[in-house]
Amino acid sequence: MKRHLLEAADLDRDDATLVLDTAAQIDQALAGREVKKLPTLRGRTVVNLFYEDSTRTRISFELAAKRLSADVINFSAKGSSVSKGESLKDTALTLEAMGADGVVVRHSASGAPHRLAHWVRGSVVNAGDGTHEHPTQALLDAYTIRQRLGRLDGVRVTIVGDVLHSRVARSNVGLLHTLGAQVTLVAPPTLLPVGVGSWPAEVGYDLDAALPKSDVVMMLRVQAERMNASFFPSAREYSRRYGLDARRMAALPDEAIVMHPGPMNRGMEIAAEVADSVRSTIVEQVANGVSTRMAVLYLLLGGSPQ
């Protein structure tokens, strides 16, 4: 494993499998226990450096670190020196001086974790940077798929929605490809980046054509405001062409599952009856997020400082 987890490409197939296997062992070790706490990272300090509001991701990382007995410091942009204009570099040097063993960073600027990794000695974990990547989300998604379907190799995953602005999509395309899954992207052409053809994924515009050939459908959050920039004409038209409703869900193979990284826009990209159906893994994804992040923290911080 590399020292940092900045993007899916930091994990080769063996590394990614190790993370998933570790998460599975942690899940098993903690299953049914009253005290869901391990002493593994006692004495280590993990800083959650969140420049963007994301309560769910922060809580997930916080819980993961605490279950491994690490000391956790939450450093959010609001109410700290960050909001007074302190630069990322100065913040990094401060954390460095305080002896952070790991920095979990969420930032609205793509590449901010890469910059941070230049300035701190501890391990940097990207918890979502701009429209770049969100690698632990991809790991927990892969873990969820493997848990439900028993495998990843050859699994057909269709990712639907605002690929252009989605860090989740970028990380999932990379990681799922690494793990042997076949990824298809479905979106209106305006929400696919120029250059998407170089990604290891099929690209299509027709959701109905893709569904019968999907073992997994991953719906991405679509912000209605995008229509103001003419990415699509209206929320209603988007929902009609690219939303997953019960009728479309019926076109899926029997064992297929429906995923969503959250937070959902019910009625926009996903209908309530789909989100609440037995195919939906949305709640499992949240639970799996904790064990997957425990695995990442253990593998990055558990060993020697080198």
Q: By CB under 8 A, name the binding residues for other proteins.
A: 1, 18, 21-22, 25-26, 28-29, 33, 35, 37-40, 68, 87-89, 107-112, 114-115, 129-133, 167, 170, 193-199, 298-299, 302-305
Give the nearer residue to other proteins in terms of CB position, either 185 or 270.
185
What is the C-alpha separation between 234 and 253, in angstroms, rounded?
30
Give the nearer residue to other proteins in terms of CB position, either 25 or 190.
25
Tell me how far CA of residue 129 lies from CA of 111, 265, 286, 304, in angstroms: 6, 21, 19, 27
What is the C-alpha separation between 124 and 113, in angstroms, rounded?
7
- Amino acid occupying residue 70: A
Give the nearer residue to other proteins in terms of CB position, either 79 or 304.
304
Give the nearest distance from C-beta 130 to other proteins in angstroms.
5
What is the C-alpha separation between 130 and 52, in angstroms, rounded?
9
Give the nearer residue to other proteins in terms of CB position, either 29 or 209.
29
In DSSP terms, which residues pair with 5 in a beta bridge?
125
Per-residue buried b or exposed e for 127-158, using 16+ beta carbons within 10 Å of the residue's own CB: bbbbbbbbbbbbbbbbbbbbbbeeebeebbbb
Give the nearest distance from C-beta 206 to other proteins in angstroms.
21
What is the C-alpha separation between 280 and 19, in angstroms, rounded?
23
Give the nearer residue to other proteins in terms of CB position, either 107 or 260.
107
Give the nearest distance from C-beta 14 to other proteins in angstroms.
10
Contact criterion met (CB below 8 Å) for 203 and 195? no
Give the nearer residue to other proteins in terms of CB position, either 99 or 212.
99
Give the nearest distance from C-beta 95 to other proteins in angstroms.
16
Give the nearer residue to other proteins in terms of CB position, either 129 or 269.
129
Q: Cα-atom radius of gyration of the chain, to the nearest Å? A: 19
Taken in order 106, 111, 113, 116, the sign of the CA dihedral is negative
| Residue 186 exposure: Cα atoms within 13 Å on the Cβ side | 25
Give the nearest distance from C-beta 32 to other proteins in angstroms.
8
253 by DSSP, 3-state: which?
coil
Give the nearest distance from C-beta 260 to other proteins in angstroms.
20
Give the nearest distance from C-beta 208 to other proteins in angstroms.
26
Give the nearer residue to other proteins in terms of CB position, either 154 or 195.
195
Cβ neighbours, 10 Å, residue 80:
15
What is the C-alpha separation between 301 and 59, in angstroms, rounded?
19
Give the nearest distance from C-beta 129 to other proteins in angstroms.
7
Report residue 219 as tokens: 């719906």
